[in-house]
Structure 1
Amino acid sequence: MPERLTARQFIALLTPDFAELPRPGGTEGAYGPDGPLEWAGYDDARALAAARTGEEESVVCGRATVGGVPSVLIAFEFGYLGGSLGEHTGDRLEAAHTCARAHRLPVVSLIATGGSRMQEGMLALTQLQRMARQSALTRAAGLPQLAVARDPTTGGGWATLGAGADVVLALPDAQVAFAGSRVRPPDADPAAYTAQAQLAAGTVDAIVRPRDLRETVGRWLALLAAPSTEPAPVPGTATAAADLPATGWDAVRRARDPGRPRARAYLDAYFTRRTEIGGDRCGGRGGGMLCGFGTHAGRTIAYAAQDGTPTRPAGYRTAARLIRLADSLSVPVLTLVDTPGAANDAEAERQGVGAAIADLFGAVATARTPLTTLVIGEGGSGGALALAAPGNTWATPDSYFSVIAPESAAAILKRPADQVRATADHLRVRPQDLVALGVVRGITGGGAAAPPPPG
């Protein structure tokens, strides 16, 4: 079990600069003895918790500067009735979010809680609705929310402030789950209720050691709290090839060349630093897609990049999550298209690949923040087009974009195998063909860009 620090010790890991918010009015002092349910012994339990921890409630809220970014911090004190949520807790959390919106500050929640407070019954449970509303209002204001799941992070605190944050970090080996340790089935696998399990399921973005939290949280805040209205610049190509393919099949061959640069090479060349988000929040991570935020020429740019393999449902869902997050924070997005197509195996269908692609199409279509796309390799059908920015897509000399792979097109048209190359020409998949058709704006190569076609 990880070492449990107090709320203020945990705050000190992030910053020496912390000013606690004034005690809110709200429901504090509104009840008679033993709280709203008159639960015998509740006053004594709170008095004992206060004496043991030095805190008057299960959360400490204040303003601080983390990594140079002014922020609002929320830190749970697990020693105060297990970090449980009651109405007074809700008062403080609402005040913290109200302060964040009033001063245009990001919110960082350092969570350690066992859930809702039994001694306040349903009045405690309804604080989850209150927290969900505050989080939604803060998101609608375009302010980032970052959560750190400590040990333990369970129950409603995980299901609102934790899993509902824009970026979720967790401490190694921490209990992170909706079901607390005392309410799980007796035969439950304890490994399924850990930070590592949540990472594998795409719910936690990264596992971070306590000593690395200040740098990691500061880096995330610097990236997320930097809106911009300018589109992401088109990357220069990472390949030395500057000539264009002579035939459609040449374009396909070059795009499939294992030696050409892939997404990571482009991202490494484009960003001075970058940090990845870790999953789709639906049980999957990876899926042939690299997503995150980075710094380019001093500006924050979000990115979603296919890695050259068939893209799986988790990849499409992660890209949709990334684009919606960037849109809510007014951060421009760069997408890199490189896939032979969507994964078409039975498991991909069971995981809802069609719905995942539809969701990504929807995220791209409704994004208000500017999107820029570069096709860097294979552009295989709708599985590639879903990631492309309408009206602002470019191509490299080592790429093609096609309604379907030439081999599949020939099979559908009942052409013999020796007609595949000719079919590639008929499909007009070369970068210069795509420019002429108006599908892409231009061709990048060696940092230069061909002008779009007239009209």
Structure 2
Amino acid sequence: MPCGREAARDLIGRVASSFAELPDESVLSEVDGVLPGAAPAAGGPLGWTGYDDQLSRAAELTGEQESVVCGVAEIGGVRAVLVAFEFGFLGGSLGTRTGARIEQAFTHAREHRLPVVSLVATGGSRMQEGTPALMQLPRIARQITLTRAAGLPHVSVLRDPTTGGGWATLGAGADVVLGLRGAQVGFAGSRVRPPGYSVTQQFAAGLVDQLLPSGELRGRLERWLRLLTSPGDTAEVPGALGQVTTPATGWDAVVNARALGRPRAKQYLQAYFDWHEPINGDRAGGVDPGVLCGFGLRGGRTVAYAAQCGTATRPAGFRTAARLVRLANRLGIPVLTLVDTPGAANDAAAEKAGVGAAIADMFTAVAEVSVPVTTLLIGEGGSGGALAFAAPDRMWVTPDSYLAVISPELAAAILKREPARARQTADELRLRPQDLVELGVARGIAQLSPSVER
């Protein structure tokens, strides 16, 4: 069987420990404009010849009355609303009743303050219902928007296939997008534009957060639902993992921050969290491997993180981090940022991709949040590319870090000094950790982590 094309109820049984389907009578009444239990109009909204027979055969084949099954499930101890597509019912297509069922599911989620999980497998809008079927897309988009505004998380799972309006609403519009390996995912399906686009390609383009085999779906959903529904109060300052003593000179600070063996973001995240799950990409076609973003569990509570890895941060990195910060704010989850970059990428490709606008967007994302943002400078702090990741009133520094308006070498060049005077310029910039505390830029120097052995 192709990836993700198992029956909806079989999939629900595999990922959930319990499931209660939402009642269907009010949905049928609303769509068909008749009393519950009465027969709908022949041929659907267009009077399509043979459509009733197609619906009957689909119901007989699948045991379902529509292409989605909606209800309340328990996944890893978290109650959630499930929207599961039955691909065997007319290719999981979106019709008017489909839209009504999905609207009911999202409304129920808001009324009962539950997260939503969409298990998507669809070929798109239903041809036999024409434009009325197509009009379900803005209807679904409105439900996603209302649920987002209510501060409730939405996780989508891309099965095979996820195309058309299903991808452009429930799939790509979710907060966290998980893709089953081998799935066809794209706006145009294989019958419209062969060959179909794959979930792996969408992941590479930053449109899918994680790829996983079907057998890992339940465990991954359990972890994500726990993360997105267990917000902490604030992000504690991580302990320092590297140097113990502060540098004597500005140039010593630069050398320490640039040392190849210095602890980087991956080590800090591993030491800080019990476990964590990453998100991927800026949702606009870009991925920056030098920026790590996601959510982690620490002491039973969730903290979001956005961490630079010591490389020049690209536009996609700023946009991914801004996306993370805004999602965390909407869900009431505190944020930890780790600053470590020589600066923003400034090559022609970065400029063309809008690096200035991306930096501005990250500054705005941090400035507008209501949740606490905690920053630790763990290495190089190069100009605005570093500062965009920082909370200006809650920043700490490690002994092997520095923050400067520009690198000492470039500062010397701009001031028309000899290259040899870069060391002197480093002192004049007052970029050492202790200088940053004295200047009021940082609150303090992070203490050595208890996990570090000396």
> TM-score, normalization: structure 2?
0.95
Deviation, 1:359, is: 1.0
- Aligned residue number for residue 231 of structure 1: 234
Find out whether 1:443 has 2:452 as its counterpart.
no
Deviation, 1:358, is: 1.1
Residue from 216, 220, 225 that aligns with 1:216? 220
Conservation of the 8 A alpha-carbon contact between 2:288 and 2:313: no
Alignment of 1:285-434 (within 5 A): 285-434=287-436
* 1:81-125: CA deviation from partner (whole Å, max 9, x where unpaired): 111111111111011011111111100000000111111111111
- Aligned residue number for residue 18 of structure 1: 19
Find out whether 1:91 has 2:100 as its counterpart.
yes
- Aligned residue number for residue 170 of structure 1: 179
RMSD of aligned alpha carbons: 1.2
Cα distance in 2 between the residues matched to 1:102 and 1:227: 20
Conservation of the 8 A alpha-carbon contact between 1:373 and 1:388: yes
Q: Equivalent residue of 2:202, what SS?
A: helix
- Aligned residue number for residue 262 of structure 2: 260
Amino acid aligned to 1:264:
K
Cα distance in 1 between the residues matched to 2:443 and 2:49: 72
Cα distance in 1 between the residues matched to 2:290 and 2:212: 24
Amino acid aligned to 1:141:
A
Cα distance in 1 between the residues matched to 2:407 and 2:369: 29
Deviation, 1:445, is: 2.6
* 1:299-349: CA deviation from partner (whole Å, max 9, x where unpaired): 100000000011111111110110011011000000000000011111111
- Aligned residue number for residue 453 of structure 1: none
* 1:324-379: CA deviation from partner (whole Å, max 9, x where unpaired): 11011000000000000011111111221111111111111111111000000000
Deviation, 1:24, is: 4.5
Stretch moving more, 22-31 or 279-288 = 22-31
Deviation, 1:388, is: 0.2
Find out whether 1:197 has 2:206 as its counterpart.
no
Conservation of the 8 A alpha-carbon contact between 1:24 and 1:95: no
Cα distance in 2 between the residues matched to 1:163 and 1:238: 38
Cα distance in 2 between the residues matched to 1:110 and 1:148: 5
Change beyond 3 A, Cα 1:69–1:172: same
Change beyond 3 A, Cα 1:149–1:36: same
- Aligned residue number for residue 36 of structure 2: none
Amino acid aligned to 2:238:
P
Cα distance in 2 between the residues matched to 1:430 and 1:173: 50
Amino acid aligned to 1:195:
V
Conservation of the 8 A alpha-carbon contact between 1:24 and 1:91: no
Deviation, 1:447, is: 4.2
Q: Equivalent residue of 2:46, what SS?
A: coil
- Aligned residue number for residue 451 of structure 1: none
Change beyond 3 A, Cα 1:168–1:3: closer
Residue from 24, 32, 41 that aligns with 2:41? 32
Residue from 126, 138, 150 that aligns with 1:141? 150
Alignment of 1:235-254 (within 5 A): 235-239=238-242, 241-254=243-256
Q: Equivalent residue of 1:368, what SS?
A: coil
Deviation, 1:2, is: 2.6
Deviation, 1:3, is: 5.9
Find out whether 1:272 has 2:281 as its counterpart.
no
Conservation of the 8 A alpha-carbon contact between 1:287 and 1:312: no
Conservation of the 8 A alpha-carbon contact between 2:366 and 2:389: yes
Q: Which runs of 5+ in 1 are unaligned?
A: 449-455
Deviation, 1:238, is: 1.1
Amino acid aligned to 2:116:
V
Cα distance in 1 between the residues matched to 2:410 and 2:25: 65
> TM-score, normalization: structure 1?
0.95
Cα distance in 2 between the residues matched to 1:424 and 1:350: 32
Cα distance in 1 between the residues matched to 2:227 and 2:133: 35
Conservation of the 8 A alpha-carbon contact between 2:4 and 2:180: no
Cα distance in 1 between the residues matched to 2:164 and 2:123: 6
Q: Which runs of 5+ in 2 are unaligned?
A: 34-39
Q: Equivalent residue of 2:80, what SS?
A: strand
Conservation of the 8 A alpha-carbon contact between 1:24 and 1:92: no
* 1:167-193: CA deviation from partner (whole Å, max 9, x where unpaired): 101111100000111211xxx6x3x60
Q: Equivalent residue of 1:372, what SS?
A: strand
Deviation, 1:287, is: 4.0
Conservation of the 8 A alpha-carbon contact between 1:287 and 1:316: no
Alignment of 1:41-60 (within 5 A): 41-60=50-69
- Aligned residue number for residue 452 of structure 1: none
Cα distance in 1 between the residues matched to 2:17 and 2:56: 28
- Aligned residue number for residue 90 of structure 2: 81
Cα distance in 2 between the residues matched to 1:423 and 1:143: 50
